[in-house]
């Protein structure tokens, strides 16, 4: 960070070094970012000098490190560019708007105005881009982004113009392989993009979503491979206590954005993305798919992006590339696409494996996915693997990963913004005030799923804040059942159901069956998180109650599947069944070393765990190890 020195006489070398370090850590920073950092450190004179320079109307066209200024460079191509854009006016306008390089008003004016030719509209578009570059704090970056969007249109004239501009900007374009894709591959890619665009980025609407621009607020950090043990312990301490704001000040952990997390300089990227349950790992995956499908320049060097969730058996047990391609999108040309990818050894392919923690121990050691991750196959492909934190260690042991990004959740200010954007002003202010007095609950709200549940429970229960994570999940399940009752019953008042222990007999029987199903599905020999229609229909009692609103359907691989509304809900219901079972102690002992059941057991308070263990012959150090790991769900 840029720090203010106490000794002004001796601070120049230190300040210069710190500024150089800041720019190195923030290579894509805009002038706005620079000014914000300087303002925080009260470097008034430097700020004034920069603002004076930026506001000058007499900048030399070659003030950009000896290169022609971006605006002048674009102006020199304006005639050719206008002619080329005329043939692709609508798609280019949509792409510029989708990537934040054109306002909605400009887009609407170009696409809806009548009485003007497409050439005139294209001329207006180019003029608009010139004006935007003139006003931009980082015109070179914006022009580079524009060029990549032009290249993505697969139009020879546009590609040649954009490639020439990039070359003069010192950013030569090498990823020209896309223009020569076989027809079968292009058809597969088009179908894949259409599928991804049809899917919502946030898959479920329950618990209620906490906003639209999810990854405009969710914090990500990249762990430096040289991070010390002390820095790692500091990071773990901050995550444990929900002190997300402090992580950015740990030198071994650098803030990144979803746009910069994929390093295009690495031909064979192997990236691990981890975080606790409900933090947004799958949502991040869906956002990447959406960005690629819309032609985002950050992902333009990937010809094909495959989304492969390990919770699906077809992905976990795939034996060849064609299996993964078929799982992602069924096509009669899959074998031809697989051959094309294999011949190129994976160049231009990005595979997103979602849910390493959901893969069995056996498949982690030997599977097609592991072989690809370890570069035994498709050596030039890029791979992103998401995992819950507790399972990341086994992933890092593969020793082939070159980057590790942590999804760390909402910082304190964003929690306030989420609450204000979800509740009425009066109720939002009251919840924020209550959370200031309840740091134990506030420290969990950095997880979007938990934050959403806290807001929901607070709103529906008249200002009640849970006392434990177990209490929170119990109240959320209660609200979910009330939601089901409101839809399914006319003669039963939802508010009359005041606790899970006081359910009407039919609802109680359904809940017990759901809990038992959740438990046996998670057992090692079963380990299922997705279910067929026939499997959930075997829950004859719960089926009559529409599974109390806790099962949702998804369409994947052109088939309909069913799953709990979130894996952590399945784990909580399994924990509920364990706690209510007559053989609790025996189950506890058998599940002690199971990853999912470690998380299940963590929903109980420490004193509950100790009481369960009181009659067991478990060594004291084993109990300490369990409680230290499981004292809070947020660690997982």
Which range among 154-168, 243-257, 355-369, 530-544 shows the weakest confidence by mean pLDDT?
154-168
Distance CA 560, CA 201 (A): 18
> Which three-class secondary structure state does DSSP give residue 306?
strand
pLDDT score at 322? 92
Rounded distance, CA 446 to CA 566, Å?
17
Q: Coil, strand, or helix at residue 555?
A: strand
The Cα 229–Cα 510 span in angstroms is 48
Residue 256 sits at φ, ψ, to 5 deg, of -130, 170
Q: Which of 302-316, 322-336, 552-566 has the highest mean pLDDT?
A: 302-316
Give the model's confidence band at 145: pLDDT under 50 very low, under 70 low, under 90 confident, else very high. confident
pLDDT of residue 2 exceeding 70:
no
Q: How confident is the model at residue 567 (pLDDT cuts 50, 70, 90)?
A: confident
Per-residue pLDDT, averaged over 100-112, amounts to 85
Q: 39: which 2 tokens?
A: 């303002």
In 599-635, which positions are buried (b, 16+ CB within 10 angstroms) versus exposed (e)?
Answer: bbbbbbeeeebeebbeeeeeeeeeeeebbeebebbbb
pLDDT (0 to 100) of residue 597: 60
Give residue 337's pLDDT.
93
CA-based torsion, 109, 112, 116, 122: positive or negative: positive
Per-residue pLDDT reduced to its tens digit, 33-45: 677 777 777 777 7
| More confident call, 616 vs 194 | 194
**Any idea which of 1-15, 172-186, 517-531 has the lowest mean pLDDT?**
1-15
Distances (CA, A) of 189 to 186, 333, 335, 388: 5, 11, 14, 30
d(CA 623, CA 361): 24
- For residues 492 and 172, give the distance between their C-alpha atoms in angstroms, rounded to a whole number: 68
pLDDT in the model for residue 582: 60
Q: How far is CA 498 from the centre of its chain?
A: 35
> Is the per-residue pLDDT at 146 higher than 80?
yes
Asked whether residue 471 is domain-assigned, the answer is no
Q: Which domain holds residue 92?
A: 70-173
What's the rounded Cα separation, in Å, for the pair 161 and 156? 9
Q: Decide if pLDDT at 163 tops 70.
A: yes
Q: What is the pLDDT of residue 40?
A: 72
Per this entry, what is the length of the chain? 636
Domain boundary among 394, 409, 424: 409
**Single pTM value for the model:** 0.62
The verdict on residue 475 lying in a domain is: no
Q: Does residue 416 share a domain with residue 401?
A: no
Asked if residue 369 lies in contact with residue 352, where contact means CB atoms within 8 angstroms, the answer is: no
User: Is 192 a domain residue?
Assistant: no
What pLDDT, on a 0 to 100 scale, did the predictor assign at position 116?
85
pLDDT band at 618 (very low <50, low <70, confident <90, very high): very low
My answer on whether 615 and 547 are in the same domain is yes
Task: Report the C-alpha gap between 270 and 373 in whole angstroms.
Answer: 7
**Which of the four pLDDT bands, split at 50, 70 and 90, describes residue 633?**
very low
Q: Mean pLDDT, the chain, as a whole number?
A: 79
Question: What's the pLDDT tens digit per position in 348-403?
Answer: 999 999 999 888 888 999 999 999 999 999 988 999 999 988 888 888 888 788 88
Residue 614 has pLDDT above 70, yes or no: no
pLDDT value, residue 338: 93
What is the DSSP annotation of 316-372?
HT--SHHHHHHHH---TTHHHHHHHHHHTTTTTEEEEEE-GGGS-HHHHHSSHHHHH
Burial of 104 (0-12, 13-18, 19+ CB in 10 A): exposed
In this prediction, residue 249 has a pLDDT band, given cuts at 50, 70 and 90, of confident
Answer for the pair 149, 96: CB distance below 8 angstroms, yes or no.
yes
The confidence band for 610, taking pLDDT boundaries of 50, 70 and 90, is very low
In a domain, 61, yes or no: no
What is the per-residue pLDDT across 590-600, written as a single tens digit (0 to 9) for each?
665 666 565 55
Residue 190 resides in a domain: no
Give the confidence band of 274 by pLDDT, cuts at 50, 70, 90: very high
Query: Is 191 a domain residue?
Result: no
Confidence of residue 127 (pLDDT cuts 50, 70, 90): very high
- Examine the domain organization and report whether 424 and 328 are in the same domain: no
Same domain, 42 and 104: no
DSSP state string for 405-441: EEEEE--HHHHHHHHHHHS-HHHHHHHHHHHHH-HHH
Residue 402 covered by a domain? yes
3-class secondary structure per residue, 9-76: CCHHHHHHHHHHHHHHHCCCCCHHHHHHHHHHCCCHHHHHHHHHHHHCCCCCCCCECCECCHHHHHHH
Q: Are residues 402 and 424 in the same domain?
A: no
Q: Give the tokens for residue 201.
A: 């980025």
Residue 446 has pLDDT above 70, yes or no: yes
Question: Pseudo-torsion of CA 478, 479, 483, 488, nearest 10°?
Answer: 10
The arithmetic mean of pLDDT across residues 99-119, rounded, is 85
Give the pLDDT score at 30: 61
**Helices 139-151, 89-98: inter-axial angle, 10-degree rounding:** 130
- pLDDT value of residue 153: 76
Question: Do 383 and 264 reside in the same domain of the chain?
Answer: yes
CATH code where residue 316 lies: 3.40.50.300
CB 144 within 8 A of CB 71: no
Q: Give Cβ neighbours of residue 49 (< 8 Å, ≥ 6 apart).
A: none
Tell me the average pLDDT across 109-114. 84
Contact (Cβ atoms closer than 8 angstroms) between residue 454 and residue 466: yes
Q: What confidence tier does 123 reach under pLDDT thresholds 50, 70, 90?
A: very high
What integer pLDDT is reported at residue 61 of this predicted model? 40
**DSSP 8-state symbol, 465:** -
202 with 349, same domain: the answer is: yes
Q: Distance between CA atoms of 106 and 124, rounded to whole angstroms?
A: 9
* In the chain, % of residues over pLDDT 70: 78
- Domain membership flag for residue 479: no
User: Does residue 343 share a domain with residue 358?
Assistant: yes
> What pLDDT is stored for residue 449 in this prediction?
86
With contact defined as beta carbons under 8 Å apart, do 388 and 273 qualify?
A: no
When divided into structural domains, the chain yields a total of: 5
Same domain, 497 and 600: yes
For residues 78 and 50, state if they share a domain: no
Please give the full DSSP string across 251-304, using - where no structure is assigned: TTEEEE-TTTSS-TT-TT-EEEEEE-TTSSHHHHHHHHHHHHHTT-GGGTT-SE
Q: What is the mean pLDDT of residues 457-486?
A: 88
Among candidate residues 139, 173, 207, the one where a domain is terminated = 173
Same-domain check for residues 536 and 581: yes
For residue 262, is pLDDT > 70?
Answer: yes
Question: Do 492 and 584 fall into the same domain?
Answer: yes
**Other CB atoms within 10 A of residue 28 CB:** 11
Stretch 115-134: mean pLDDT: 89
């Amino acid at each position: 960070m840029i720090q203010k020195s106490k000794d002004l006489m001796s601070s120049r070398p230190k300040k210069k070094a710190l500024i150089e370090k800041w720019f190195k850590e923030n290579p894509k920073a805009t002038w706005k970012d620079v000014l914000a950092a300087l303002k925080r450190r009260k470097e008034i004179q430097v700020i004034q000098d920069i603002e004076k320079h930026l506001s000058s109307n007499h900048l030399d066209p070659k003030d950009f490190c000896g290169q022609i200024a971006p605006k002048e460079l674009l102006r020199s191509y304006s005639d050719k560019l206008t002619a080329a854009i005329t043939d692709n006016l609508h798609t280019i306008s949509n792409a510029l708007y989708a990537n934040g390089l054109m306002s909605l008003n400009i887009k609407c004016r170009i696409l809806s105005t009548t009485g003007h030719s497409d050439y005139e509209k294209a001329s207006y578009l180019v003029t608009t881009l010139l004006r935007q570059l003139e006003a931009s704090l980082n015109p070179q970056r914006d022009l580079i982004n524009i060029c990549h969007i032009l290249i993505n249109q697969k139009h020879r004239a546009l590609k040649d113009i954009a490639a020439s501009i990039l070359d003069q900007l010192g950013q030569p374009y090498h990823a020209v392989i896309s223009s020569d894709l076989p027809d079968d591959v292009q058809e597969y890619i088009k179908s894949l993009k259409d599928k991804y665009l049809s899917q919502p980025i946030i898959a479920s609407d329950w618990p209620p979503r906490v906003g639209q621009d999810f990854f405009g607020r969710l914090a990500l950090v990249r762990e430096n491979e040289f991070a010390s043990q002390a820095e790692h312990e500091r990071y773990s301490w901050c995550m444990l206590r929900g002190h997300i704001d402090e992580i950015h000040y740990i030198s071994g952990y650098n803030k990144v954005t979803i746009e910069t997390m994929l390093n295009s300089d690495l031909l064979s990227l192997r990236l691990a993305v981890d975080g606790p349950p409900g933090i947004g790992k799958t949502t991040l995956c869906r956002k990447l798919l959406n960005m690629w499908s819309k032609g985002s320049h950050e992902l333009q060097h990937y010809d094909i992006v495959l989304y492969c969730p390990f919770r699906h058996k077809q992905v976990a047990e795939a034996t060849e590339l064609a299996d993964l391609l078929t799982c992602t999108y069924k096509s009669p040309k899959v074998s031809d696409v697989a051959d094309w990818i294999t011949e190129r050894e994976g160049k231009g392919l990005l595979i997103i494996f979602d849910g390493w923690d959901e893969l069995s121990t056996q498949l982690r050691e030997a599977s097609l996915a592991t072989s690809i991750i370890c570069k035994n196959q498709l050596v030039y492909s890029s791979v992103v693997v998401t995992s819950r934190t507790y399972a990341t260690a086994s992933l890092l042991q593969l020793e082939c990963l070159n980057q590790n990004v942590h999804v760390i959740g909402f910082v304190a200010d964003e929690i306030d913004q989420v609450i204000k954007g979800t509740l009425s002003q009066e109720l939002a202010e009251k919840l924020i005030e209550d959370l200031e007095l309840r740091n134990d609950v506030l420290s969990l709200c950095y997880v979007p799923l938990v934050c959403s549940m806290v807001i929901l429970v607070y709103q529906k229960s008249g200002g009640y804040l849970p006392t434990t994570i177990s209490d929170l999940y119990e109240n959320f399940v209660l609200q979910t059942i009330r939601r089901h009752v409101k839809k399914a019953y006319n003669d039963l008042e939802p508010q009359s159901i005041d606790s899970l222990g006081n359910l009407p007999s039919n609802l109680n029987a359904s809940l017990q069956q759901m809990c038992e199903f959740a438990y046996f599905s998670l057992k090692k020999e079963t380990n299922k998180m997705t279910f067929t229609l026939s499997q959930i229909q075997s829950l004859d009692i719960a089926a009559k109650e529409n599974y109390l609103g806790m099962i949702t359907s998804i369409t994947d691989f052109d088939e309909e599947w069913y799953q709990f509304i979130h894996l952590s809900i399945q784990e909580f219901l399994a924990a509920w069944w364990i706690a209510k079972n007559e053989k609790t102690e025996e189950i506890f002992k058998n599940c002690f070393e199971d990853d999912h059941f470690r998380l299940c057991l963590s929903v109980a308070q420490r004193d509950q765990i100790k009481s369960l263990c009181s009659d067991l012959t478990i060594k004291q150090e084993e109990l300490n190890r369990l409680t230290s790991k499981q004292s809070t769900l947020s660690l997982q």
